[in-house]
Amino acid sequence: MARAVEPKATTTAPGGGNASEAGDKAKIKAEKKPGILRRMKNWMEGWALTKYALLALIILAFAESSFFPIPPDVLLIALCIVSPERAFLFAFACSCASVAGGLFGYFLGRVLYEPVVKPVSRFIRLDKYLDGALDLYNRYDVLAVFIAGFTPIPYKVFTIAGGLAKLNIFKFAVASAVSRSARFFLVATLLFFFGKAANDFIDAYFNLLALAFGVLLIGSFFLVAIFFGKKEKDAGKDKSGSNDLQASSAPGEGGKESGAKPV
């Protein structure tokens, strides 16, 4: 006689339904949706695979050196992670575009300052930063270009101020080329040799690294604002002191001093 097939034992989850199905639903529900920063990273890496990625890097690097606030480093890193074998090509293109954008910023400051840059800088309150950059040029000459080109300091402020200060354009271009190339090729070299490890490290600590990058970027802007604000305050004090000195030394009526005599 054939044995009767015993039905499989099933467990019922509270509220009805198969326990395994309930477990799968709970597992799916428990899976967290990637955060906005992670989604941006995934989008950036996916977009880096398109044929327009290199063109976008060139445009971004050019614009950032003259008027655009977002640095090209994020896109450069994404491209180097996706295609580490082309890392040096990306760094070269980024450097050339950045230097060209810097020369355009120089042109804005040298030729179009009065009709274009001056009203815009006053509207967005950029004039005090330009004054601070001019002060640094007076003290350090082209070394200020190198520092701004290599560090997170807003490079566009120094390119425009370089033209406004009528800095030697050859020295300006050389300092820009050296500093920007050093910055971008450093990123490309690290990702060329440690691309896989760097990608794994970024994936593991992405939120922390994004936070650190944001703090570094905001902190650099904050320090620049403090420095330039102090320079502006000191300049105001010097101007006020000079006016007071002129007023106290100016002759009054009948050849007498205008200041009141002590009682």
DSSP states of the chain: -PPPPPPPP--BPTTSSBHHHHHHHHHHHHSPPPPHHHHHHHHHHHHTTSTTHHHHHHHHHHHHTTT--S-THHHHHHHHHH-GGGHHHHHHHHHHHHHHHHHHHHHHHHTSIIIIIHHHHHHTT-HHHHHHHHHHHHHHTTHHHHHHHHSSS-HHHHHHHHHHTT--HHHHHHHHHHHHHHHHHHHHHHHHHHHHHHHHHHHHTHHHHHHHHHHHHHHHHHHHHHHHHHHHHHHHHHHHHHHHHHHHHSB-GGG-BSSPPP-
Lowest mean pLDDT among 104-113, 144-153, 173-182, 230-239: 230-239
CA angle 164, 168, 170 (to 5 degrees): 125
Confidence category of residue 121, pLDDT binned at 50, 70, 90: confident
- Predicted pLDDT at 253: 44
Confidence category of residue 131, pLDDT binned at 50, 70, 90: confident
| Within a domain: 2 | no
| Within a domain: 13 | no
| Within a domain: 4 | no
Contact present, 137 and 162 (Cβ < 8 Å): yes
- Predicted pLDDT at 233: 62
| Within a domain: 117 | yes
pLDDT at 182 over 80: yes
Could you report the per-residue pLDDT of 184-235, keeping only the tens digit for each? Answer: 999 999 999 887 777 777 777 666 766 776 776 676 666 666 655 655 566 5
Residue bearing the bigger pLDDT, 248 or 204 = 204
Contact present, 105 and 66 (Cβ < 8 Å): yes
Contact present, 72 and 60 (Cβ < 8 Å): yes
Rounded Cα gap, residues 61 and 243, in angstroms = 45
| Within a domain: 163 | yes
Domain that residue 179 falls in: 37-229
Q: What pTM was estimated for this model as a whole?
A: 0.67
Phi, psi of 251 (to 5 degrees): -70, 145
| Within a domain: 196 | yes
pLDDT at 17 over 70: no
pLDDT at 51 over 60: yes
What's the mean pLDDT in 31-53? 69
Q: Dig out the tokens for 139 from the structure.
A: 């003290």
| Within a domain: 133 | yes
- Predicted pLDDT at 46: 75
Q: Dig out the tokens for 186 from the structure.
A: 């450093």
Confidence category of residue 91, pLDDT binned at 50, 70, 90: very high
| Within a domain: 166 | yes
Lowest mean pLDDT among 8-12, 63-67, 125-129, 163-167: 8-12
pLDDT at 255 over 50: no
Rounded Cα gap, residues 239 and 37, in angstroms = 47
pLDDT at 173 over 90: yes
Average pLDDT, the chain: 77
- Predicted pLDDT at 197: 77
Quote the number of domains for the chain.
1
Q: Please count the other Cβ atoms lying within 10 Å of the Cβ belonging to residue 9.
A: 5
